[in-house]
A and B are shown apart, each in its own frame.
Chain A
């Protein structure tokens, strides 16, 4: 039982991080039809900027997180202005969008390595302190991440449901033509989507860095496919679905290690569980858990 609580809790924490990263990817897909291959490296960037501000410059941790989210937004904005806007104007196809996103990822990664180095980093927070919870050992960092990540998820969900720009986004994603004739400013919607995904990328990166305890510059890249799995699981392009898909995938990955499942999946195969989930969902339910065949995704 204590095993179950342990893995369930881990799953919730990981799932919240997946959810935050996945919703950014899903929003971008729904608005731009862009599969953001650079999303993983935005996580790494967020974690490293926060590390630089809070550990090297010894600034307040929360202030550092906010600045790193602003940096993620700034870079996304810059790329939208110099890159994506032009590609949209040129009516770039699926392959072009794919390859440019990959190209951005390939450029971002060495820049992070050049600026911040390749060493393993950790935040200035005691990762060894744990709380006892029905026999399960819950590290302090995980508890913090769970609280702040679920608060962020609620904020995101409310924002998409209630805020003006959130509504515009959903309208545009549903029917771009109709949305633009009914007076929605397309460039503004697209820009907002980029800003949100940039901020969420940084935030998820800090959370992931906290949960791992230590991280290096390969952190985000290695998680990218898990995020895609979460996005596809929760119906590609559906923001709420991505939140649920992220949580579900986190739980699947952690609970798969319980010994009742074929003696438990070894923990170094955890990423494979995510890839396999991705492939299986694509095979049997490509429209995702919340999708209908009739709905065009």
Chain B
């Protein structure tokens, strides 16, 4: 039970919640506004994280330029995915998007001399033999924890600094996105979500609106990748399995697909689920080994998704009518 009352546990939960909250916000814009079912969202996070690692380690770029490049590349890939497959109807696009993310992961897995292959970013060939890419953001994180140390002592950890960096961004992105969703642009999109023909008859280019949504969502996927890569300071192909996209979907449907602000609560719930199955040490969890805990986590996420869709498809905060009109 002790881990429950340890601040370190909750700080980790919050850091994770912030990162996956931003990730899920991308899906929220795509599905909640545009009705696009993107099941390959993890590809954007993988691309931006790996772009940063490769550019910094192999080509000695500054972290900030690399992060910018990562987000731009994620947006570019969103555009590529959209231009090729977004004209397909819903279920076809969903399948195509999964295939897209899997191609990204296989490419990462099998180009050892660029991405480090199965061994992750530690194995990226580096001109100076140095395979870390987080020193620039680490300066900021250390600066924050140095300022906090006199106030709270040993609780001033890297995770806490990370929370203090990620959450303002998370808040800002949610605010931006809820502003965005009140514009006429979003109203057109909501109309396309329900029915293509009405906005088309008003002279709106439905495909272009959808494509824009997909790209904006991919930017948030890319931004999540930036924070993810700083938080964990090491990337490996198995961090970007198909299931990560469904972490995002779980957060989204828990919040309610059209409720942006619900993402705060839902993301913290996800962070708790993830952190609890990883760190909590009381019975019966203490009986499990760490790989078994990983299965338990996957099981619980599956269970939450199934229960939500059966019992409360509109999520904690959603309107039932909006969910049913797909």
Q: How many chain-B residues does the 8 Å CB contact rule pick out?
A: 42
Residues of B within 8 A of A163 (CB): none
Give the residue of B95, B106, B303, B306 whose beta carbon is less than 8 angstroms from that of A269.
Answer: B106
Cβ < 8 Å to B, chain A residues 238-297: 266, 268-269, 271-272, 275-276, 278-279, 282-283, 286
* Min CB gap A208→B, angstroms: 18
Q: Is the beta-carbon distance between B99 and A225 smaller than 8 angstroms? A: yes
B299's nearest neighbour on chain A, judged by CB, is A110
Q: Is the beta-carbon distance between B84 and A271 smaller than 8 angstroms? A: no
User: Measured between alpha carbons, how far is A197 from B298 in the docked complex, in Å?
Assistant: 24
Known pairs A100-B310, A275-B102; A268 contacts B305 (CB<8 A): no
A268's nearest neighbour on chain B, judged by CB, is B110
1/0 contact string of A9-53 vs chain B (CB within 8 Å):
000000000000000000000000101000000000000000000
Q: Is the beta-carbon distance between A106 and B106 smaller than 8 angstroms? A: no
Q: Is the beta-carbon distance between A114 and B295 smaller than 8 angstroms? A: yes
Q: Is the beta-carbon distance between A283 and B37 smaller than 8 angstroms? A: no
Q: Tell me, yes or no, whether B239 is within 8 Å of chain A by CB.
A: no
Q: Is the beta-carbon distance between B295 and A225 smaller than 8 angstroms? A: no
Q: Tell me, yes or no, whether A99 is within 8 Å of chain B by CB.
A: yes
Q: Is the beta-carbon distance between B310 and A86 smaller than 8 angstroms? A: yes
Q: Is the beta-carbon distance between B309 and A99 smaller than 8 angstroms? A: yes
Residues of A within 8 A of B253 (CB): 99
* Min CB gap A288→B, angstroms: 11
Q: Tell me, yes or no, whether B313 is within 8 Å of chain A by CB.
A: yes
Q: Is the beta-carbon distance between A100 and B306 smaller than 8 angstroms? A: yes
Q: Is the beta-carbon distance between B96 and A105 smaller than 8 angstroms? A: no
Q: Tell me, yes or no, whether B249 is within 8 Å of chain A by CB.
A: yes
Q: Is the beta-carbon distance between A109 and B298 smaller than 8 angstroms? A: yes
B325's nearest neighbour on chain A, judged by CB, is A93
Residues of B within 8 A of A118 (CB): 291
Q: Is the beta-carbon distance between A103 and B305 smaller than 8 angstroms? A: yes
User: Measured between alpha carbons, how far is A98 from B39 in the docked complex, in Å?
Assistant: 10
Q: Is the beta-carbon distance between A94 and B310 smaller than 8 angstroms? A: no
Q: Is the beta-carbon distance between B292 and A114 smaller than 8 angstroms? A: yes
Residues of A within 8 A of B176 (CB): none
B106's nearest neighbour on chain A, judged by CB, is A272
Residues of A within 8 A of B107 (CB): 272
Residues of B within 8 A of A151 (CB): none
User: Measured between alpha carbons, how far is A114 from B289 in the docked complex, in Å?
Assistant: 11
1/0 contact string of B293-305 vs chain A (CB within 8 Å):
0011011011111
B245's nearest neighbour on chain A, judged by CB, is A102
Q: Tell me, yes or no, whether B123 is within 8 Å of chain A by CB.
A: no
Q: Is the beta-carbon distance between A103 and B303 smaller than 8 angstroms? A: yes
Known pairs A94-B37, A95-B37, A275-B103; A282 contacts B303 (CB<8 A): no
Q: Give the tally of cross-chain contacts (CB within 8 A).
A: 123
Q: Is the beta-carbon distance between A283 and B85 smaller than 8 angstroms? A: yes
Cβ < 8 Å to A, chain B residues 76-108: 84-85, 88, 90-92, 94-96, 98-100, 102-103, 106-107
Q: Tell me, yes or no, whether A107 is within 8 Å of chain B by CB.
A: yes
Q: Tell me, yes or no, whether A96 is within 8 Å of chain B by CB.
A: yes
Q: Is the beta-carbon distance between B299 and A94 smaller than 8 angstroms? A: no
Cβ < 8 Å to A, chain B residues 1-44: 31, 37, 39
Q: Tell me, yes or no, whether B324 is within 8 Å of chain A by CB.
A: yes
User: Measured between alpha carbons, how far is A99 from B312 in the docked complex, in Å?
Assistant: 13
Give the residue of B88, B291, B296 whose beta carbon is less than 8 angstroms from that of A286.
Answer: B88
Give the residue of A92, A104, A106 whose beta carbon is less than 8 angstroms from that of B298.
Answer: A106
Q: Is the beta-carbon distance between B103 and A272 smaller than 8 angstroms? A: yes
Q: Is the beta-carbon distance between B326 and A93 smaller than 8 angstroms? A: yes
User: Measured between alpha carbons, how far is A83 from B246 in the docked complex, in Å?
Assistant: 19
Q: Is the beta-carbon distance between B31 and A95 smaller than 8 angstroms? A: yes
Q: Tell me, yes or no, whether B233 is within 8 Å of chain A by CB.
A: no
Residues of B within 8 A of A86 (CB): 310
Q: Tell me, yes or no, whether A87 is within 8 Å of chain B by CB.
A: yes
Give the residue of A110, A272, A282 whose beta carbon is less than 8 angstroms from that of B295.
Answer: A110
The 3 closest A-B pairs by CB, nearest first: A106-B302, A110-B295, A93-B326
Residues of B within 8 A of A (CB): 31, 37, 39, 84-85, 88, 90-92, 94-96, 98-100, 102-103, 106-107, 110, 243, 246, 249, 253, 291-292, 295-296, 298-299, 301-306, 309-310, 313, 323-324, 326
Give 20 A-B contacts (CB < 8 Å), ordered by A residue: A35-B94, A90-B313, A98-B39, A98-B91, A98-B94, A100-B309, A100-B310, A102-B246, A103-B302, A103-B304, A103-B309, A106-B301, A110-B295, A232-B95, A272-B106, A275-B99, A275-B106, A276-B103, A279-B85, A279-B100
Residues of A within 8 A of B (CB): 33, 35, 83, 86-87, 90-96, 98-100, 102-111, 113-114, 118, 225, 228-229, 232, 236, 266, 268-269, 271-272, 275-276, 278-279, 282-283, 286
Query: Apart from A228-B98, A278-B96, what 14 extra A-B contacts exist at CB < 8 Å?
Result: A33-B91, A35-B94, A93-B324, A99-B246, A99-B309, A103-B304, A118-B291, A268-B110, A272-B107, A275-B106, A279-B84, A279-B85, A279-B96, A283-B84
